[in-house]
Structure 1
Amino acid sequence: MADTAIKTSEEKKEYFDTEEELEEKIDKLATWILSSEHFISFTGAGISTACGIPDFRSGMDTVLPTGPGCWELAANKKKKKPVKPKKGASVSMHKAYPSKTHMAFVSMIESGLMKFLISQNVDGLHRKSGVPAEKISELHGNTNLEKCKDCGKQYLRDFRVRNAKKAKAHKTGRLCDDPSCRGPLRDSIINFGENLPEEDLNNAFNHAECADICLSMGSSLRVTPAADIPLRVAENGGKLVIVNLQRTPLDEHAALNIHAKCDDVIERLMEKLTIEIPKWKINRFVEVCCKDKKVTVSGRDEQHNYYSLFPKVEMKNGRDLKSLKTSIKEPHNFPLTEHSPSELKIKLYFQGHYGEKPLILTFDREESDTKLFKIVFDPFVGEWEPAESLF
């Protein structure tokens, strides 16, 4: 950690392009992206400061509303110079909303312009924003993702999975759901001195080899081997574009260095690309399966992989109150009897990070033995949209 920390006042200094410089640079960037064949992006903590999550290396006099980076605060505390964070500027990761930059990346991937995304961030906001799992390498892990040590199966959770006290201890105490495995689950966070996940790292470098342009946003580009990925693009003759308030060790390799806040750059860029930045909504999926005289309710992600979403599920499978069943263990299973009606009422409860209210689904087991529902929550109005049955 000490080797990548910034120490001098010059390294901590923030720079800002003039309006004319910014306009000219973003024009050039938009032209390059539109003519690219393999455009990738690389992100760091700077894209999440707009979400209320402090970064690592911002100095004491930063313009960012989240205030100094956590390493700067730690250094000042050690010097007995504590600084109080700005009131209301910071939020916990699990309650943070994806920024305009996060949502712009979703649109660029959906449009086909951006081929792949590489991130150093552990906050999970890229996945939460809607970036498909197969389109991203999260090099330093995801605070909501745990993996089975034995079979490699991944479990995305709607809560922070890491609970180890020691930096290099990763067991979460949960076990793989696969009855033929039951291996110990480990959080996916990579600490300094630990190896990056091989598959994610290989995917990132493979895309870097193909890339004709790499847009690096909000990264100090000081942590390797992650920082070697955008460097590889430049070394192969591709265009490296760096968006960061501070200068970076790779500035001399860049075709463009843009000094401005990430969201300010992305707003102008998307306007020039004529691509809309979508409003963030929470898209989730629920699978209801009726088999072997039981109903199983489980969460799914955008790619319909298992996603731990519900701390509690209730199901009413009869007319009287005694027929109300409650499950707090995932996946949520409910027994059926000969008296159970064909139409079942299922009430879903959520972690409530964004004020999600319980939601009731209707499942008719005579229509189908399995249904996948898409449920959408608008956190800006605090309401669920009508559930959609996908099959």
Structure 2
Amino acid sequence: MTSLISITIPQELITALHEAKHVLVFTGAGVSAESGISTFRDPLTGLWERFDPEDLATANGFRQDKALVWGWYEWRRMKVLKARPNPAHRAIAELAQHVPRLTVVTQNVDDLHERAGSTDVLHLHGSLHSPRCFACARPFSFPPGIPDEPEGGRRLCPPQCSHCGGDIRPGVVWFGENLPEDTLKQAFAAARECDLLFAIGTSGIVQPAARIPSLAKKAGAKLVQVNPQGTPLDYECTWSLRGGAGKIMPSLVQMAFLWS
């Protein structure tokens, strides 16, 4: 890891990290944004400022115009595949090498955690890289390579399921759909079992994922927030570290483990 600018990390947090037996890292859109991935609700650049969620992020929207929806998600997948994990992703992967147990739970639908080296990541909102049949739900594998899509995507008919002939849909959770049950159960269980939770780049308001920090706190865990802005989690956390995750997380890992 490269040398970093000076960032104040409470000694009590470093001590808690040294003593932790199970660390849960809960990440949101702010982490991927530092890799250049557009968020949804940013007032200037958010995807929902430019595109209608009813057209692109609902099952009904897919039924009405499959080519529009599939092409848009292929554009998003292209953007993700061209992006690179940032120092926050890499620091989280590094952290797993220094604590007895680490669980990564993310609201993001990209694979940047995995490409940084994290394993067994729990994707609460699905993944752009795990499409499935709209009819029979069987998984579909993309061919190798990166799509070549214009801004916003083009009208592109989805591939067909080799089992039933149904249309393949993106593997993300759309509005009106439930989060994957097994993944949510694993995330909630990890929250109840951890003794230190990091909420990084998440507003903490999107349910039911927003329950994760409160479940951890009720079970006795200490909470750390890493975010440039204030969020409702300010009132829940033991420590709130203001700033970008790409600077704070590498500094924390270096101070706790690489410089000690």
Q: TM-score range by the shorter chain?
A: 0.7 to 0.9
- 1:144-179 alpha-carbon deviations (Å, 9 max, x no partner): 112467575574765689xxxxxxxxx953325xxx
Say whether residues 1:109 and 2:104 are aligned partners.
no
**For the Cα contact (< 8 Å) 1:246–1:259, is it kept in 2?**
yes
Aligned match for 2:30, one of 37, 40, 46? 46
**For the Cα contact (< 8 Å) 2:9–2:252, is it kept in 1?**
no
**For the Cα contact (< 8 Å) 1:212–1:239, is it kept in 2?**
yes
Larger % of helix: which?
Answer: 2
Give 1:192 deviation, angstroms.
Answer: 2.0
Q: What number of residue pairs does the alignment pair up?
A: 220
Cα distance between partner residues in 2 of 1:128 and 1:183? 32
1:265 match: 248
Cα distance between partner residues in 2 of 1:152 and 1:199? 16
Aligned match for 1:192, one of 138, 161, 175? 175
2:114 match: 127
Larger % of strand: which?
Answer: 1
Instruction: Quickly say closer, same or farther: Cα 1:225–1:172, change in 2 above 3 A.
Output: farther
For 1:20-99, what aligned pairs fall within 5 Å after superposition? 22-25=7-10, 27-60=11-44, 68-71=45-48, 92-99=79-86
Structure 1 runs of 4+ with >6 Å offset: none
**For the Cα contact (< 8 Å) 2:20–2:99, is it kept in 1?**
no
Give the number of the structure whose alpha-carbon radius of gyration is greater.
1
Cα distance between partner residues in 2 of 1:58 and 1:195? 24
Aligned match for 2:159, one of 137, 157, 173? 173
CA RMSD across the alignment: 3.1
Give 1:128 deviation, angstroms.
Answer: 2.5
For 1:163-312, what aligned pairs fall within 5 Å after superposition? 172-175=158-161, 184=166, 185-275=168-258
Give 1:194 deviation, angstroms.
Answer: 1.1
Give 1:45 deviation, angstroms.
Answer: 0.9
Percent of aligned positions that are identical: 30
**For the Cα contact (< 8 Å) 1:242–1:257, is it kept in 2?**
yes
2:58 match: none
TM-score where L is the length of structure 2: 0.73
**For the Cα contact (< 8 Å) 2:125–2:179, is it kept in 1?**
yes
- Structure 1 unmatched ranges of 5 or more: 1-18, 61-67, 76-90, 162-170, 277-391
Q: Relative contact order (C-alpha < 8 Å, sep 6+): which is higher?
A: 2
